[in-house]
Structure 1
Amino acid sequence: MFWTTLLIGAGGAVLAGLALQTVNGKIDFKSTADFFIYPLILLGYGMLVSVYAQLGFFAYLILNYTGIGVFPRKVWKYIQLVLAVLALLELAFLRTVVGGERNGLSDLILGVLILMTAIAVSYFKVKSTNASAWIPTFFFMTAITIVEIIGVLRIGVDNATIFIVVPLLACNAFQILMLHRVLKPSIAQ
């Protein structure tokens, strides 16, 4: 799972980096070496983001294990749902309202993108497991992803945000969708 997540992060960063270069109209390689070095830099960056995503995933697993141990399961699910909604509200609205210096449109678009991705990943997780996986998956894909991107949100550059969010969402989606396959108990013979 580590190596596959590493490759997904690398691929996501290459796609995001090349798409940003194309959209910004700045595909300006001065030499053949630039043409080959830029994708290698993107691959390396994507691998770093994937390791960061894996760190967030294991932090979530520990948080979930602790939450289940401290709270009754039903209460823990509602706590996760409330925290996910609060994280989305903070990302999409409160940063703009309280901070005031940011353009709220980019935060709103990012919040909607994360929300739509979380809903889609939660849907596929429920299809491959059971209905009880919806809230934990939604929580991971929203709240944990938003916590993982706090550093780039402080920079306030939309291109940097896109550059980290694309591979991060891809890695997080892969990890949460594969979790039940990794934890699948072996059949005793």
Structure 2
Amino acid sequence: MNTRKVVFLFFTTMIVGAVGGAIVGIPLRWDAFQGEGFWNFFWGTIWMLGIGAAISIVAQMGYFAYLILHRFALSLFKTAKLWNLVQVLLIAFVFFDLVYLRYIAYADGEPWTAYLLTPTLLLIYALLIAYWKMKETNYTAFIPATFFMFVITTIEWVPALTVQQVNDSEWLWIYLAPLLFANTYQLIALHRIQRSKK
């Protein structure tokens, strides 16, 4: 990876996160966007693009932190099999936390099963993207890619999950969407960029 490729990845990830955030955020906040004419919609769209771009920077920090963690863990655990086992256990632990801790913090008479939907959808999405990554690279990429898409995305999502005021599906998804767009793009784009000759 030369400097040009790093800069290209940085800016394209920011654009993907910004556009992804706007695509999801505008329909979710449609009531706020449709009032007061064209300029309200225009500046609201700019605002959503800005939020998505800012969140994509968080996603980029998370991605490069994971790349460093992955290399460190491979040297620490000596074998990829042991590190993969640790990652699978952490995926299970984070899934449990996403359900149980949010249930404890926010439940107001709902059963704990009401908090299963979002973690389950996120895990399914992570598995699908990991399968895509594996098909484009090799089978050893599946567990690390799943870990990154599920665990690291969840860690990046923590600010939205821990603020009481945004415990509604609208803001949770407005924050999550740019993370998913940016993380998916980074995961799939990195090996392609590395292989390119420019």
TM over 0.5: yes
Q: Deviations over 1:79-126 (max 9, x none)?
A: 011111111121023431x44636546632210121111011011011
> How far apart are the structure 2 equivalents of 1:18 and 1:56?
25
Corresponding position of 1:138? 146
1:9 is matched with which residue: 4, 14, 17? 17
Corresponding position of 2:53? 47
**Shift of residue 181 of structure 1?**
2.3
Secondary structure, aligned partner of 2:35 = coil
CA contact (8 A) 1:9 1:168 kept: yes
Amino acid at match of 2:54: L
Amino acid at match of 1:151: P
CA contact (8 A) 2:33 2:40 kept: no
Amino acid at match of 1:21: R
CA contact (8 A) 1:12 1:166 kept: yes
Corresponding position of 1:125? 133
CA RMSD of aligned residues (A): 2.0
**Which 4+ residue blocks in structure 1 deviate beyond 4 angstroms?**
102-106
Report 1:1-189 matches (<5 A). 1-22=9-30, 25-71=31-77, 72-96=79-103, 98-99=104-105, 101=107, 103=110, 104=112, 107-155=115-163, 156-184=167-195
Structure 1: any 5+ residue segments left out of the alignment? none
Deviates more, 1:29-38 or 1:133-142: 29-38
Question: How has the CA–CA distance of structure 1 residues 63 and 106 changed in structure 2, closer, same or farther, with 3 Å as cutoff?
Answer: farther
**Shift of residue 176 of structure 1?**
1.0
CA contact (8 A) 1:106 1:158 kept: no
| Corresponding pairs, count | 183
Q: Deviations over 1:38-64 (max 9, x none)?
A: 000011111001111001101111111
Secondary structure, aligned partner of 2:83 = helix
> How far apart are the structure 2 equivalents of 1:14 and 1:147?
22
> How far apart are the structure 2 equivalents of 1:146 and 1:17?
19
**Shift of residue 171 of structure 1?**
0.7
CA contact (8 A) 2:21 2:178 kept: yes
Question: How has the CA–CA distance of structure 1 residues 77 and 177 changed in structure 2, closer, same or farther, with 3 Å as cutoff?
Answer: same
Amino acid at match of 2:183: N
> How far apart are the structure 2 equivalents of 1:27 and 1:38?
6
Secondary structure, aligned partner of 1:149 = helix
Secondary structure, aligned partner of 1:45 = helix
Question: How has the CA–CA distance of structure 1 residues 105 and 10 changed in structure 2, closer, same or farther, with 3 Å as cutoff?
Answer: farther
Amino acid at match of 2:152: I
